[in-house]
Amino acid sequence: MHHDDHIAESVLDLIRQQDSAAADIIAREQTRQASTIELIASENHVSPAVMHAMGSCLTNKYAEGYPGARYYGGCEFHDQIEDLARDRAKQLFGCKFANVQPHSGAQANAAAMMALLQPGDTFAALLLKDGGHLSHGMKINFSGVFYNPVFYPLHYDAKHPDFERIDYDAVRDVCLEHKPKLILCGYSAYPRIIDFARFREIADECGALLMADIAHIAGLCATDVHPNPFPHAHVVTTTTHKTLRGPRGGLIMTNDEDLAKKIDKSLFPGIQGGPLMHVIGAKAIAFGEALKPDFTDYAKRVVKNAQALAGALTERGYRITSGGTDNHLMLVDLQPKDANLTGADAEKWLEAAGLITNKNGIPNDPRSPRVTSGLRLGTPATTTRGFGPAEMSRIADMIDRVLSSSGDESTTRTVRAEVSDLCEALPLPGAAALKAVR
């Protein structure tokens, strides 16, 4: 048993001594994560160091304000840990200013938009149904309530060579027509390289600022496995989990000192109070991990695995939107395999077999977001466990067997056993002991 395993078990024991009901639920969740294959594109497995920083004494302190300008005493070491996180973020992405206080990616977007826009101002983005995000202009989200979103399209013509990819000529047309103050790029379900330089050209031509939300691809951008949004974007927002493999949280970056000051004010006191210093400590550790050479190797393997999984599913009769993937995720169109198969059913049947996915609309999906015709799959978590192309082929086979059987109980049970064996062979980072729940 590794030292980290002892820590994980002792933490659970401490909780159990005080609250057995909560401890039992956490233990069951540990077992679920350890014994299932995580294919949700926005999820990952953090290192033991990141995990335990989030449960550290840093959680006990209020630190409203920023390093050197707090509203509370006793922040000496909180200043140091926040400066460490900020410095590492700047080094990681090659930028001059970083705010590590956003509680989430949506909070990062809210603060950035508050700094860049006035209520009622127009911004351009990609529709949620085409791979955008709630915070990119959904009607009932803050971004759609307080601002005026206009949307640019994908190529919808199946005969076009760039089918289901961003139509940059249409982006330009939309932006020249509506003259948005802000253009937003970066998405939650888009499997292709984003041309940040082209977006900046369009932004300059129509007099807009460019904001890149790289929540999904941050770990790939930080390692140049996907092009970096800097120096093209005026502002970059991201989550710190997903491909970056840090704690759940947000981050805002820029090279513009005036924008940096506005963003800091928009975040605090604009939309947040006290920062989550335990999470900021974990961000510092995660950024440090991402600066090491082995993280670049990890990011490259994430993309190779995604391409291997997409290829193996294509061989089995599934359609991958846009014809493949350049990053960590893919959208699987289930209709060519089985016209009656929905994303909702597929998600449910696969979960019973220990394969964790999420239903997702495909571009121009005829079904509702609660049902969908697609699945979103990603490889950050499986790559963290050490899975490679051979395992991707096995996973594609298991997915196909479950879905082809319409979730047949016998097939599901057989695949569930195979999933458990694979997870035992390639355990979670530092978590061999978590398989055994007392």
In three-state secondary structure terms, 231 is coil
Distance CA 151, CA 242 (A): 25
* Candidates 64, 87, 256, 400; catalytic one: 64
* Candidates 129, 172, 248, 401; catalytic one: 248
Is 62 catalytic? The answer is: yes
Is 316 catalytic? The answer is: no
* Candidates 239, 321, 357, 412; catalytic one: 239
CA distances 387 to 132, 302, 375, 391, 396, Å, are 29, 9, 20, 6, 13
Distance CA 217, CA 338 (A): 31
* Candidates 24, 31, 61, 62; catalytic one: 62
Is 181 catalytic? The answer is: no
Is 292 catalytic? The answer is: no
* Candidates 192, 242, 262, 359; catalytic one: 242
Is 204 catalytic? The answer is: no
Distance CA 215, CA 300 (A): 17
Sheet holding 148-152, edge to edge: 97-99, 250-254, 235-239, 209-213, 182-185, 122-126, 148-152
Is 321 catalytic? The answer is: no
Q: Which helix (H) or strand (E) holds 85?
A: helix 76-93
* Candidates 5, 38, 167, 213; catalytic one: 213
Instruction: Calculate the CA 176 to chain-centre distance.
Output: 31
- Secondary structure E strands in 240-292: 250-254
Q: In this structure, what is the dihedral angle of CA atoms 252, 303, 312, 400, given to the nearest 10 degrees?
A: -30
Catalytic residues: 62, 64, 213, 239, 242, 248
